[in-house]
Structure 1
């Protein structure tokens, strides 16, 4: 067996602009349940669900785009990727007392073990990584 190869399992879902973010959370929760995380790593599940909410909301509200949600588990990290058609790169902003929004990427930064943005020819993909805490 090639020691450099990696075994992974993954899921993908398209979330049209008119879909509710709850549909994304429910879909993600079901897949995390199949991994056993809802009982073994409930805090990580909560972090993943909040991150998915933020990233899909950003795709819908800020990019005015459908969201392509892909999750990949490689026995070390759950990679949660959301693609949208905007080339604007998200970044944590200082919260403002005048605005109720603008804290999404601060939450992602606090919840995910790591996150990064990958520019693509037709938009960008934001990928957050989570390692389950048992």
Structure 2
């Protein structure tokens, strides 16, 4: 299953994007134990895109037999920065969550007439990230 939607370049668009992604993931049959992790990471990825990038912002969901891939494209070239903020910091954890909770992640720059940056992550269906293993019960 593949789907995509445009996301308004505003923080108020994060919740609707998260709901849209949840609906697509449920339609694709993603297990509940992975669904919540994916929705959290979608929220982080979309928040970073609308807060730090240039429009247009597009959210893509791709689910196959092996993994779920989420991708957000935007018009900025600046790549996300992996930080390890102190516990007292109010932000800066989005990419850290993606790094720790996904199976893999990365960025790419596409140039089909217009420069577009893609930030993506994948969660393999057979993978439970070490940071979540103690919280997730396998069926």
TM range (shorter): 0.7 to 0.9
Deviations 1:33-58 (A, max 9, x none): 11222xxx222111111111111111
Report the 3-state secondary structure (helix = DSSP H, G, I; strand = E; otherwise coil) of the residue aligned with 1:87: coil
Match of 1:82 among 48, 72, 78: 72
Report the 3-state secondary structure (helix = DSSP H, G, I; strand = E; otherwise coil) of the residue aligned with 1:75: coil
| Aligned counterpart, 1:5 | none
| Aligned counterpart, 2:9 | 17
Alpha-carbon deviation of 1:66? 3.7
| Aligned counterpart, 1:72 | 62
Coordinate RMSD, CA, aligned: 1.7
Q: How many residues align?
A: 123
TM-score with structure 1 setting the length? 0.82
- Aligned structure 1 segments of 4 or more residues deviating by more than 6 angstroms: none
TM-score with structure 2 setting the length? 0.80
What are the ranges of 5 or more consecutive residues in structure 1 without an aligned counterpart? Answer: 1-8
Alpha-carbon deviation of 1:119? 1.6
**Distance in 2 (alpha carbons) for counterparts of 1:96 and 1:64:** 28
| Aligned counterpart, 1:33 | 26
What are the ranges of 5 or more consecutive residues in structure 2 without an aligned counterpart? Answer: 127-138
